Structure 1
């Protein structure tokens, strides 16, 4: 007589075939515990057999819910003090799928034993008393100091929301841009022959010829622009002559002030008054001897000028 032989009041599934799962330790896994896969019950634990390597857990499975042969097993609890059950997890990366059948064995390499309750409590105690909570609190305080103020975050969120609304309202422009890019991309295959020709050996030769022509001919025709090329050597004698001229005129510069004053005096005192009232006053006419012809010619000239009537 054993409590494990008493009928369970829980709703179960049919026991169609049995499978053995090898565990290093099962802790408090009871006989009759549920076997779950993907949230559904697929069987129950029927027996626990101690071995030299650990514990063999015999489970009864139902045929209505086949279990893949590559599944792994783990003993779990929903809560620290909750019921213990056995969970099966199929390998989703397997290419082919075979299913467990009566007498199949899941090796210890694909089973995971749960930690002891004492280890769990020790980890929780270290978490509480080891300063982890205080560190989390300090971290949150640092984040609160670093992050901007609430009003700034709201303003930023408002700006982002407006930008997203504008983006949503102008999706037709984005579609038009994408359509244009798509058309450009589609034009490349149609122009593949031309593009290949441009980047071929002939295209490279063309660009080299153009560059050589520009440097050899056009640059020679315009020597005054930029550097002095082959045709620009004529500027050297001109520059030398200009330098000699400046050297010759150098002694004149010290007397420049007197020359400037004399020029200003002539322009202001003599030339400008004459230009304002230009006239010539004849005060006397003298002739040597009795040269009456010279006197008559002089009188004629003066009458022409309007001096004599």
Structure 2
């Protein structure tokens, strides 16, 4: 009411000082405080923690321009609610801020509305909108400023500032380099935090999402913790047994270590003794499974199982009664002169076992100069033809590994030449070498048998 009284007194004094003959102005002609909108306006409610001596009909300003007036002031709990009427032509953002200001040192109070200073304006504040307490403020009163100034001038504040300054000087005396380095490191640390502001915000948001999810699953987490209680109770009851078990396990580890240390030499000797056996098994390769397959149907070959029906064996015999063929077989079966093969590192290995080989009509091949009759194993050509001086049949050709096997030819999967070719049995060639049909000896009708035990059978079979 003080601004209104001052204006009324000023008008009265002006009237008294007027010359005689001039009439007094009507009270209706006096300007009223505030600034009610010229037309229809809209209302906005603002919450303040303290409205000071703000009165109804006080002005509402935006950028120091009066756009409305205070319509009503009421109390809601421990804060004030001020209802403003603003001109409808004025548009305010939905996140606008409000504050109680004073026009001068002894002037009237008014409400100022402004866009938010720390964030962009968004939305629109409509009729019935509310500006919450978090976005309102008030200015300092003259009494507050004078009280603070009086406290400072009376020595209350200066004495404390002097004491703080003296103690701070004593604490930093002689430690200026350390303090300077600390401030420099603090500046670096704060700079690093500022550069990682985005990551920190993202981490805090992720933590917020995690806590929100945990909050939604509070019942599930509680049930899980309640379910752990019986298990923890059992573990607590069996604590002594678990301790004894762990202690016994430690003793077992010591015994095991002692046993391993004492049997180390024997274990290494056993492993070394096992190495030749493993090497032989690896060298046997596919031969061992095939031999085992033959043992299941001994003394018949594996394919005879299809011919056995009950206690009968179906036998199929094809007899060639052509006189020319019989005569040719008889002539071919005649024993050939025996000539010893030239010693070579690539000759066939001797037969193992205690059996003896009966060689009626021995057909030992003539010795070959293997150094000339065999290709260079390190640089094997695609097609290699033995020289004529080797005495091999014409057309006997060695093909490079991977070549197509011709009709009547022979593939050497392991590179070891078997019996029945023009080369000595056991000759080593590159794995996969192909022999043409002319390198394979024709069947002469001669029968060569081997008498022996199972090792002889596994070594090469009764019939080579």
TM-based fold match above 0.5: no
Q: TM-score range by the shorter chain?
A: 0.3 to 0.5
Structure number with the bigger relative contact order (C-alpha 8 A, sep ≥ 6) is: 1
Higher helix share: 1
Query: TM-score by structure 1 length?
Result: 0.37
The alignment's TM-score, normalised by the length of structure 2, stands at 0.26
